[in-house]
Structures are given as structure tokens and as C-alpha cells.
Amino acid sequence: GDSVTQMEGPVTLSEEAFLTINCTYTATGYPSLFWYVQYPGEGLQLLLKATKADDKGSNKGFEATYRKETTSFHLEKGSVQVSDSAVYFCALTGANSKLTFGKGITLSVRP
Amino acid sequence: GAGVSQTPSNKVTEKGKYVELRCDPISGHTALYWYRQSLGQGPEFLIYFQGTGAADDSGLPNDRFFAVRPEGSVSTLKIQRTERGDSAVYLCASSLGGYRGRNKNIQYFGAGTRLSVL
């Protein structure tokens, strides 16, 4: 079945540091890929998405590129802020409509 | 409403009791999903409705779990004979649904119901 693997956390960075959060997936067919974010005390929010190979999703300074050859969708940001502290989930939808999530990773950004 | 609404936000119950969790999707969204998120884990799929019918209930863990959406809008997740292992955050999401392109299937989540079974 479909699965998503995220790098182990938590991750702690200083403000303005470069961020990479790794995500790889296993799916049949051509999945759509997503990053969702959960800020403290809030619900899951869509951060960005990509629906086909080589697409780049971007939002709020975050980017991720759909790499079919490496089955990856790594999340990057050039300069993190304290307000980026949250839990980040990589997810996919495959042939069916349901989302399959990774375990999530907690990011803490120090001032 | 403006977003997906879930009630109650917190529910504490005793082992063996029956509970109902409610989800009110975004107006006009025909697809509705239930997920369960245990501590330290990502959400796991339970059931998906397209309109009034359950299109995929493969994620329901056992027959104690049941969900309905009688008028194609509000949905209720029902758990019978609750067990301590049912304690989790139950998330509801909705999307435009249909098969008119992948953007129609972006799922928007509610804040969840935190269920605690004592």
C-alpha cells in the first residue's frame, strides 16, 4: 500500500538557518504530494502541494519539488523564523482520495 | 461556515461508554473524511464519504466504529463500547470532491476532537 517516510525529529534550528526536512514515499500510479503544518494549538493546514512530477510547490518561503525518480518531496526554506515552529507532515493521495501521512516532525526555531 | 467545524473539542468518557463526534464541513464540499491521530503519529484514515454514501470505510478499525452522513453535509462518527486504546484526536476534513481535477480534492481540516477514554 501507499506509505510516506519522514526523517526523524525533532529538529531545532536558530533563526535564519536553512531548513531541509526529508520525505520519501511509496505509491502506485501518480500520487499528489502535500506538506501540511500544525502550529501549536491549531489544526492541520495545507502548506503546499504538487500534483505531478517536477512540479514545485511553494508557500510562505517554503518549497518542495516532486521528484519521481527518487520518490521524494523534501521541504526546504532558506531562512527560518521563530514563527515557523510547528509540526510538519508530508502526505500523499494515491489512486483513492484518502491522505496517507508521515509521522510528522517537530521544528523548533530559536531566536 | 468559514471552515470545518468539529464538536465537541474535547470529550472525556469512561471505558465501555458510547460517544458521538460531529463534523460540519465547509459549505458546498461534497467529500468528507475522518482521520484518527494518536500521540506522536500522523493522522490515519478512517472513512471517506462522497455525498451521503461511504465511498471507502477501509480504515475503520473494527465494528465498534461507525459513521453516517444522512443529508450529505454534517457527519457523525459513532464509537460503541469505547476502549482506552480509542483515545486520540479525531480529525475531520472536507473537499470539493468529484473528479474534475486534482485541485478539487485538496482537503481542509477541522481542529479535531480530543477523545479521552478513562
Q: What is the pLDDT of residues B21-58, one digit of tens each?
A: 999 999 999 999 999 999 989 999 999 999 999 989 99
Which phi and psi angles does A10 have, rounded to 5°? -75, 170
Search chain A and give the residue with CA nearest B113: A43
Average pLDDT over residues B68-91: 96
Tell me the C-alpha distance between A75 and A11, whole Å.
Answer: 13
Closest residue to A32, CB basis, from B44, B97, B102? B102
* pLDDT for position B1: 52
A5 or B100, greater pLDDT: A5
CB contact under 8 A, B105 and A97: yes
Nearest CA distance, A49 vs chain B (angstrom): 9
Picking from B60, B52, B41, B116, the residue whose alpha carbon sits closest to that of residue B84 is B116
Tell me the C-alpha distance between B67 and A56, whole Å.
Answer: 36
Tell me the C-alpha distance between B35 and B37, whole Å.
Answer: 7
Mean pLDDT rounded to a whole number for chain A:
94
* pLDDT for position B99: 58
Inform me whether the C-beta atom of residue A37 falls under 8 Å from chain B C-beta atoms.
no
Three-class secondary structure of residue B90 per DSSP: strand
Indicate if the pLDDT at residue B104 is higher than 80. no
Mean pLDDT rounded to a whole number for chain B:
92
